[in-house]
Amino acid sequence: MKYEFNTDKEFDIIAIGRACIDLNATEYNRPMEETMTFTKYVGGSPANIAIGSSKLGLRAGFIGKIADDQHGRFIEQYMRGVGIDTSSMVIDTEGHKTGLAFTEIKSPEECSILMYREDVADLYLAPSEVNENYIKRSKVLLVSGTALAKSPSREAVLKAINLAKRNGVKVIFELDYRPYTWKSTEETAVYYSLVAEQSDVVIGTRDEFDVMENAKDGMNADTINYLFKHSPDLVVIKHGVEGSYAYAKSGETFRGQAYKTQVLKTFGAGDSYASAFLYALISGKDIETALKYGSASASIVVSKHSSSEAMPTVKEIEELIASAETISV
Ligand SMILES: Nc1ncnc2c1ncn2[C@@H]1O[C@H](COP(=O)(O)OP(=O)(O)OP(=O)(O)O)[C@@H](O)[C@H]1O
Ligand SMILES: O=C(O)C[C@@H](O)[C@H](O)C(=O)CO
């Protein structure tokens, strides 16, 4: 089964949300207290997805606010360098800083992220900085859940969704739940369900859908029953190494298995998955193939040091699908 997009558009995907800095422990397999050096990469889930999409050949753009400093300039230059249109990236004028994510890699199974996100520039994107003339040029608007955590970014994203819907742009909601940016899970559930109900495609882990539903140990069947009463016609629920499911409103279910790989760290899996899944879908491949692309891309990124720089090419993904073993659970 294929998913249809409006073909009469200049951009394939415009992502909205944060573009930040990842500082990944250079010496890994130890706690961060013992890490002396970190390698700098562009990070932030929607930025990673835009980078992954652009490296795969999609025409990508980005809407977000960046700090007026060395980090902000590094982010813009890097993203432009990988082919992303950065003309709608706004430079903060009020002294807000770039979000930083220090990543700890204790072992392939035990990874964590220490975030510095106090008063970060990305959450100051204002509704007036979101333009209809830009959004309407894309097939897809990719919305990151974290951008809903605070005003004015929250209203900027709600405006972007409204403009997308008015202009035949598919809204794809990546739940991207990061607890530290939110006041409470109740608040997250309110905004997640509000946006999920208006989206065309919703992608998240089982745990993230639980946050959306303000529930524990939720069932995929209940999630899709709820979402298919609203706008979504495709829902992707990820279960880590156990693979992922895509549910279509027409009643079909597709399963994607994870691929065996030499894991270095686990973060970055979700962003690489989303970029390759969307690449495949937008390039006209069927949903089953798109799940393979997502899983293959994730298995490549978890075997590498970064989440953005490590994003694979189409050739790498296709070679992996042809040769790697799937994880059966
Ligand atoms: N250890 C692993 N080995 C191989 N593939 C993996 C592994 N972990 C995750 N994946 C692949 O990545 C996909 C997404 O993973 P997961 O459900 O953990 O997303 P996520 O929690 O959004 O990721 P992130 O850690 O980036 O936030 C899975 O469906 C699977 O295909
Ligand atoms: O999303 C973030 O803010 C941090 C990411 O860039 C980080 O690499 C990660 O967690 C990816 O899943």
What are the residue ranges in the chain where pLDDT is below 70? none
Pocket test for ligand 2, best of 116, 267, 301, 311 (most atoms within 8 A of CB): 267
> Which atom of ligand 1 lies at the shortest distance from residue 204's CA?
22
Pocket test for ligand 2, best of 122, 307, 308, 311 (most atoms within 8 A of CB): 307
Residue 319 near residue 277, CB atoms below 8 Å: no
Residue 87 near residue 70, CB atoms below 8 Å: no
For the chain, give every domain's residue range.
11-18+45-73+80-93+126-323
The whole model's pTM is what? Answer: 0.98
Residue 61 CA to ligand 2 centre (angstroms) = 19
Ligand 1, atom 2, residue with closest C-alpha: 241
DSSP 259: B
Ligand 1 pocket, residue 209 CB under 6 Å: no
- pLDDT for 281-305, tens place per residue? 999 999 999 999 999 999 999 999 9
What pLDDT score was predicted for residue 1? 87
Ligand 1, atom 19, residue with closest C-alpha: 270
What pLDDT score was predicted for residue 169? 97
Ligand 1, atom 28, residue with closest C-alpha: 240
Structure tokens at 296: 């293959």
Residue 275 CA to ligand 1 centre (angstroms) = 13
Q: Residue by residue, what is the 3-state secondary structure of 70-131?
A: HHHHHHHHHHHHCCCECCCEEECCCCCECCEEEEEECCCCCEEEEEECCCEHHHHCCHHHCC
Ligand 1 pocket, residue 44 CB under 6 Å: no
> Which atom of ligand 1 lies at the shortest distance from residue 295's CA?
31
What pLDDT score was predicted for residue 153? 98
Ligand 2 pocket, residue 309 CB under 6 Å: no
Residue 79 near residue 51, CB atoms below 8 Å: yes
Residue 296 near residue 276, CB atoms below 8 Å: yes
Residue 262 near residue 303, CB atoms below 8 Å: yes
Distant-in-sequence, close-in-space partners of 288: CB < 8 Å, separation ≥ 6: 1, 254, 256
Ligand 1 pocket, residue 267 CB under 6 Å: yes
Ligand 2 pocket, residue 22 CB under 6 Å: yes
What pLDDT score was predicted for residue 329? 75
DSSP 164: H
Ligand 1 pocket, residue 238 CB under 6 Å: yes
What pLDDT score was predicted for residue 236? 98
Residue 17 near residue 147, CB atoms below 8 Å: yes
Residue 159 CA to ligand 1 centre (angstroms) = 30
Residue 229 CA to ligand 2 centre (angstroms) = 31
44: left (phi over 0), alpha (psi -120 to 50) or beta: left
The CATH architecture assigned to 11-18+45-73+80-93+126-323 reads 3-Layer(aba) Sandwich (3.40)
What pLDDT score was predicted for residue 89? 98
